[in-house]
Every structure is written in C-alpha cells, then in structure tokens.
Amino acid sequence: MAAAGGGGSRADNGYGGQQARRRKGPGALATGYLVIYNVVMTAGWLVIAVGLVRAYLAKGSYHSLYYSIEKPLKFFQTGALLEILHCALGIVPSSVVLTAFQVMSRVFLTWAVTHSVKEVQSEDSVLLFVVAWTITEIIRYSFYTFSLLNHLPYLIKWARYTLFIVLYPMGVSGELLTIYAALPYVRQSGLYSISLPNKYNFSFDYYTFLILVMISYIPIFPQLYFHMLHQRRKVLSHTEEHKKSE
C-alpha cells in the first residue's frame, strides 16, 4: 500500500511527457485552477523545507525536527487528496485508481502511523521520509506548474527524472523504518484493532495490517523504481534528441 509513498514515484498525472502532449489538454478554466493548485502546493512544501532548515539552525541538531513542521506537513500532504478528484473529474488525464493508491499511501503514513503513534514522531526515520517527500514535492509541483504554462525549464525536468534515484529509496527506507518503530506501540495499545466477540462478528488486527503493508513494499518498490528509470531514459533522451535537431 504505502510503497508508492517514496520520493519520486508519483505518476505525471497528465502534465508533460510525450503521451500527455498527444491528448487534449484541460480547458482554460481548468488549466487556471490547476496552475493555482500547483503553485499553492509548491509554496506549501517550500514552507516545510524552510521550516526544517530554520529548526535545524535553531537547535543545532537534526533530531526531532518533525515537530517544527508537523502542521504544514499534515495540511499539504492531505491537500494532495484533491488530485484524486482532479482525475475523477477528468481535468487531469490520469488513472483515478493509481492516483488514489499513491496519494492515500502517504496520507496513511502521515495520519494513521506518524500522527497516531506519538512515540515514533521523534524517530530519525520520520525526518528521512519527510526530507525525501519535501524535495520531491517541490520539484513535482513545480514541474506540473511549468508544464501547464508550456514553459518547462530543462533543469526542473532533469531534477524530476533524476533525483528520484536517491530520493525514492530514501523515502521508502524512512517509511519502512517508521512503521517498524510503530509496531511495538501498536501491539501494546491495540490501536485501531477490533477483537472478537462483538456484535458485528468482525475482527481486525492493526499490528498485522502494518506488517502486511511493510511486506507490500517488496513487490511494489522495484516495479515503480524501474518504471521511473525507464521513464527517465525515455523523457531525457527525447529532450536531448530535440535539442540536437534544433
């Protein structure tokens, strides 16, 4: 489930790319809205980045920096849920299911793990995925904004299809380590678990569910990572060929 949450794995959602250019783009009103949305999200993640840097300089340590950016992180990560609506309404030509899977994986980690298990918030692994997410999202939303304006700088395109090589494993490592750190607290508290007997005759073990989420990274992570590597070769090589033909 959450394997899609690592840095750099999100689909292009119809902005940029060769396939997207062959499709009919959104109308003027939808384009204007999408530009505003992506500018706001870029600014939001920049706020998070600045907050991390300021907190680090003030404390002189990278430990427990999560608390300095907790509120904006929750707000802007949850704001990504609108991307599912964009796909459902058809203003962005991307799969609703795939987008929902990718967005919900991060929202899940933000709220159902990091927020719900207070004890893990001071773990260094949280900073690991927060930094990976922050850099990735600043680049991603900038990429979308400039693509919608038909003025995409090569540097942003290169960053979009290159930095994931480091950011994606970094984010996934932070996510896995955070979930792992949460396991003993979830088992001890019985968080979100439902035991029998009850009137619904239904049981749910959140501890086991988190273990299954961690196992899901094994098949999903390599597929997404190699897909992004393939996309990188295709997009950047096409850009180089286009430059040479000019």
In tens, the pLDDT along 186-239 reads 999 999 999 999 888 999 999 999 999 999 999 999 999 999 999 999 999 876
Averaged pLDDT score across all residues of the chain: 91
**Contact between residue 4 and residue 224 where contact means Cβ atoms under 8 Å apart:** yes
197 backbone φψ class: left, alpha, beta (φ>0; ψ -120 to 50): beta
153 cis-preceded (ω within 30 degrees of 0): no
Contacts of 38 (CB under 8 A, 6+ apart): 141, 142, 144, 145, 148
Residue 158 lies in a domain: yes
Residue 7 C-beta-side C-alpha neighbours within 13 Å: 28
Residue 163 lies in a domain: yes
**Contact between residue 129 and residue 5 where contact means Cβ atoms under 8 Å apart:** yes
Tell me what the mean pLDDT of segment 16-25 comes to: 49
From the list 144, 175, 217, 225, the catalytic residue is: 175
pLDDT digits (tens, 9 = 90+) for 52-109: 999 999 999 999 999 999 999 999 999 999 999 999 999 999 999 999 999 999 999 9
Q: Please give the single-letter amino acid code of residue 52.
A: L
**Contact between residue 219 and residue 1 where contact means Cβ atoms under 8 Å apart:** no
In the chain, where does DSSP find H-type helix?
A: 18-21, 28-59, 66-79, 82-89, 96-107, 124-148, 154-160, 164-189, 206-245
Residue 168 a catalytic site member? yes
From the list 168, 206, 207, 225, the catalytic residue is: 168
Q: Please give the single-letter amino acid code of residue 206.
A: Y
Residue 88 lies in a domain: yes
Residue 216 CB-density burial (10 A; 0-12 exposed, 13-18 middle, 19+ buried): middle
Residue 108 lies in a domain: yes
What is the domain count for the chain? 1
Residue 126 lies in a domain: yes
pLDDT at 17 (0 to 100)? 46
Residue indicated by tokens 């997009």: 235
Residue 154 a catalytic site member? no
Residue 214 lies in a domain: yes
Contacts of 120 (CB under 8 A, 6+ apart): 113, 114, 126, 178, 181, 182, 185
What DSSP state is assigned to residue 15? Answer: S
- Tell whether the model's pLDDT for residue 10 goes beyond 80: no
Residue 35 lies in a domain: yes
CB atoms within 10 A of CB 25: 18
- Domain limits for position 129: 28-235
Residue 111 lies in a domain: yes
pTM score, two decimals? 0.90
What DSSP state is assigned to residue 25? Answer: P
**Contact between residue 9 and residue 224 where contact means Cβ atoms under 8 Å apart:** yes
